Structure 1
Amino acid sequence: MTDTEGRRPVLLPANQPERFYRGGAAIAELRGDGAPLAFGPEDWVGSCTTLHGQRDVGLSRLPSGTLLREAIAEHADNWLGAAHLANYGADSALLVKLLDAGQRLPVHCHPSDEFAATHFGSRFGKTEAWIVVGTATENPSVYLGFAQDQSPATVADWVARQDSTAMLGALNEVTVRPGDTVFVPAGVPHAIGAGVFIVELQQPTDLSVTLEWKNFLDDEAGGHLGIGFDTALNCVDRQSWGGERLGELVRHQDDTGAPARDLFGQPAQSFFRAERVRAGAELAPSFAVLVALAGKGVVHTEHAGPVEITKGETYVLPHAAGTTTIEGDLSAIRCLPPTT
């Protein structure tokens, strides 16, 4: 039995493509990997997705050196299962990242499936969600959705003048703590504040319309992805997400101690799913990415036997491994594709 066949859990090494912003210290600390990379704020885990415009940067490799994307293509039924294949083909339909913001990220948003199909020839847009797993500043914050409705002219003017103060000030600032979750539908403008460490689930693309590109990206074209801001800004959700509506996106969640707990609920299920899992969890067969956040334990798989997992390790689990149970003091996030 080889790692490429999709019959057993596979330990994944760190996969940190160079990005335009600083960060990565929390990733290095979690993984126990020593000194962090200066511009390695993202670890793409179980990735079959490349950076926008790149041929292979961002793709995860198995310990054998084989790209996970190639292994899935060759043994898709084992990795993904028949129901997933019927809906999504030989595509995991999921991208998971560890993201450690060493500085505030720019205000940006992501296209919907429809916008991505029309303008980028992509089946997927980029709805995403965050699980806050650590903070390193006195007032750790994220910025999410406009607090008031904005006109197309106003947003276009901010972008043309690169008015960072206006753009950031128009968003809802939300203080977060470990355990909180944030759901970010396509189109909703957002930014992540310095010192916020998250496990991020998203649709498998690298499509970002960066409204605040100055002092972050090399040029304006990187902000609109080559289609011009006159077109790109049509993907921005300019409606108000203030007041009670913000509660649809942000959950301040306490740990219930349950063996398996759904983290995002029904609104996210057509895009991805996530569970916090620990001892006693019995998990149905599925392609999954497992991120070990604390402790150590044993993951027992129905068809591939036990695997010892410890804090900082990341695994990709194939559907063919079967039902999975967990024992020990391990606390982990299990990241799953959309429902089928």
Structure 2
Amino acid sequence: MYNEPIFLEPVLQERIWGGNKLHTEFGYETPYSHTGEAWAISAHPNGPSKIKNGPLKGHTLQGAWEEHEVLFNRSEAAGETYPLLVKILDANQNLSVQVHPDDTYAMEKEGVPYGKTECWYVLDAEPGAEIVFGHHARTHEELRQTMANGEWDTLLKRVPVTAGDFVYVPSGTIHAIGAGIMILETQQSSDITYRVYDYDRTDEDGNARKLHLEQAAEVTNVPHEDPKNESIQETIEDLTARKLVEESYFTVYHWDLRGQAVIERKSDFLQVSVIKGEATIQTDDQTFSIEKGTHFIIPHTIKQFSLEGDAEMIVSHP
């Protein structure tokens, strides 16, 4: 039986808007001067995580999903593709304004299994930092006309954020992360993005990045409605577990550990990202050290585990 956590190696991604905080704040070896994303728990072909320990060391997460169903309690209904993707993003500059399709559109138009619903836990935000979240158009005709005219200040809704905020972003929501913000993102395992506006930026060769206004207009929810989301909190010994969202694709929690706690795994498996502090995790007779920037999966073969230390974690499952 596989009785240890599955630790994963993040995949670093270059982005025009990235900076160096993934190195300075999380200690990752960043290969680019503009490193925007760490794909921390990923089976996506554009950035597959490799397993760092145990019998599957060196294997990809997707390989484990396909070949070792027992680790995830994977049924045939779950499909051949690992369902979720966890990232850390460093927005040194504004990200492009964008929107993602739902599953039906993604399958019909792009030939991939998942659209993209996502959510963000704000790790850090400079004073005055804002996100784009939603729009003011009342009809699709108004949306298309305002986009065509480039009336972005009229169209886009901007919302201030601070560290500790949580934002749920269903597919069809126009959105963007603003400069000076770091987030941990939990999302469907999809890399489909329809870019709406990119601040007229150009790459190092002077080329503007491609926009996808027609696809964006087709998939955007009109009118925009802020999703309703209720946070629920429970205490397990010295652990405070706050449920941030529970919806059809994922459930996400913030765990605040201030001592010791024994956890009973109730879902098929758990994804865990340490965002602050350090601790130990014990499974059976093995103890592992974890710290800020550690990412791992508690497989289905582990029914119970204990935590000890002073740390915060974002935890999720399908």
Distance 1:199 1:154, change over 3 A: same
**Quick check: 2:42–2:48 contact (8 Å CA) kept in 1?**
yes
Q: Are 1:329 and 2:301 matched, yes or no? A: no
Distance 1:216 1:44, change over 3 A: farther
Distance, in Å, in 2 between the alignment partners of 1:99 and 1:156 is 29
> Which of 82, 85, 88 is the matching residue for 1:92?
82
Q: How does 1:177-326 map to 2 (within 5 A)?
A: 177-213=162-198, 214-215=200-201, 222-224=210-212, 229-241=213-225, 246=226, 248=228, 259-266=239-246, 269-277=247-255, 278=257, 279-280=260-261, 282-284=263-265, 286-302=268-284, 305-326=286-307
Deviation at 1:122, TM superposition (A): 2.4
Distance, in Å, in 1 between the alignment partners of 2:22 and 2:233 is 23
* Cα displacement string for residues 160-182 of structure 1 (whole angstroms, at most 9, x for unaligned residues): 45x2xx22542222111111100
* Cα displacement string for residues 212-266 of structure 1 (whole angstroms, at most 9, x for unaligned residues): 144267566x433xxxx4344210113133xxxx372698x99999724243333
Distance 1:209 1:308, change over 3 A: same
**With structure 1 as the length reference, what TM-score do the two structures score?**
0.79
> Which of 10, 14, 19 is the matching residue for 1:14?
10
Distance 1:181 1:116, change over 3 A: same
Alignment-mate amino acid for residue 99 of structure 1:
L
Deviation at 1:113, TM superposition (A): 1.3
Q: How does 1:88-127 map to 2 (within 5 A)?
A: 88-127=78-117
- Equivalent pairs, count: 305
Distance, in Å, in 1 between the alignment partners of 2:161 and 2:104 is 31
Distance 1:318 1:255, change over 3 A: closer
Q: Which ranges in structure 2 are unaligned for 5 or more consecutive residues?
A: none
Deviation at 1:91, TM superposition (A): 3.2
**Quick check: 2:233–2:240 contact (8 Å CA) kept in 1?**
no
* Cα displacement string for residues 135-184 of structure 1 (whole angstroms, at most 9, x for unaligned residues): 2x2201111011x33433443344445x2xx2254222211111110001
**Quick check: 1:109–1:210 contact (8 Å CA) kept in 2?**
yes
Alignment correspondent of 2:36: 41
Deviation at 1:18, TM superposition (A): 2.1
Q: How large is the RMSD of aligned CA atoms in angstroms?
A: 2.9
Distance, in Å, in 2 between the alignment partners of 1:306 and 1:291 is 17
Deviation at 1:330, TM superposition (A): 2.1
Q: Higher strand fraction: Structure 1 or Structure 2?
A: 2
Distance 1:323 1:181, change over 3 A: same
Alignment-mate amino acid for residue 32 of structure 2:
L
Deviation at 1:27, TM superposition (A): 1.9
Secondary structure of the residue aligned to 1:330 is strand
Q: Higher helix fraction: Structure 1 or Structure 2?
A: 1
> Which of 155, 159, 165 is the matching residue for 1:174?
159
Q: How does 1:149-160 map to 2 (within 5 A)?
A: 149-160=137-148
Distance 1:128 1:281, change over 3 A: farther
**Quick check: 1:28–1:36 contact (8 Å CA) kept in 2?**
no
Distance, in Å, in 1 between the alignment partners of 2:230 and 2:94 is 19
**With structure 2 as the length reference, what TM-score do the two structures score?**
0.84
* Cα displacement string for residues 274-327 of structure 1 (whole angstroms, at most 9, x for unaligned residues): 11222425241543321112221111235x732211222222332222223311
Secondary structure of the residue aligned to 1:265 is strand
Distance, in Å, in 1 between the alignment partners of 2:220 and 2:243 is 26
Alignment-mate amino acid for residue 22 of structure 2:
I
Distance 1:77 1:185, change over 3 A: same
Alignment correspondent of 1:140: 129
Distance 1:42 1:169, change over 3 A: farther
Alignment-mate amino acid for residue 111 of structure 2:
G
Q: Which ranges in structure 1 are unaligned for 5 or more consecutive residues?
A: 51-56
Distance 1:332 1:189, change over 3 A: same
Identity, % of aligned positions: 26
**Quick check: 2:114–2:190 contact (8 Å CA) kept in 1?**
yes
**Quick check: 1:179–1:254 contact (8 Å CA) kept in 2?**
no
Q: Are 1:76 and 2:69 matched, yes or no? A: yes
Distance 1:38 1:256, change over 3 A: farther
Higher RCO (Cα < 8 Å, 6 or more apart):
1
